[in-house]
Amino acid sequence: MSLEAGKSLGPYKIIEKAGAGGMGEVFKAQDTRLDRIVAVKILPAKVAGMPDFKQRFEREAKAISSLNHANICTLYDIGKEDGYDFLVMEYIEGETLADRLAKGQMSYEETLNISIKIASALDTAHQKGLIHRDIQPANVMLTKDGAKLMDFGLAKVHIS
């Protein structure tokens, strides 16, 4: 269920496909209201059609959107249009940690720096009762400014 360039979902105009994973396809898009580039993640129909999904999806999206941390990909919006359930997130330029690791060994300093940033991001999420549940190199984006944890799509809200 791929989107074509130029298609709009509300104020988000699709530019190009940016990637895909187990929890949907991701598109680079233009936010026409705020004039910024965003990432739009389309959730698979099989997931969106599950009973109780909408309630869980909205609850978890609210929890994720409350996370304010330099090393966590920001969730801006959620929506449903033309049969698509979607998330709108910060668009991050860079490469995944998985791609970086495929190029070869990293220095101790680089490894430590990334680890500290992701640990700090996870600490913030855990303090808000949010468990990521899918930590892997493909969900860490490396940018010129550091590392960002992405894809809280499997996250679970833990209420203590």
One-letter amino acid identity for 58?
E
List 31, 134, 145, 151, catalytic entry: 134
User: What residue spans of the chain are helical by DSSP H?
Assistant: 45-48, 53-65, 97-102, 108-127
Report, in this order, helix, strand and coil percent for the chain, each rounded to 5.
30, 35, 35
Exposed/middle/buried for 121, CB within 10 Å: 0-12, 13-18, 19+? buried
Cβ–Cβ < 8 Å for 151, 98: no
The amino acid occupying position 121 is: A
* 82 part of the active site: no
Task: Write out the catalytic residue numbers.
Answer: 134
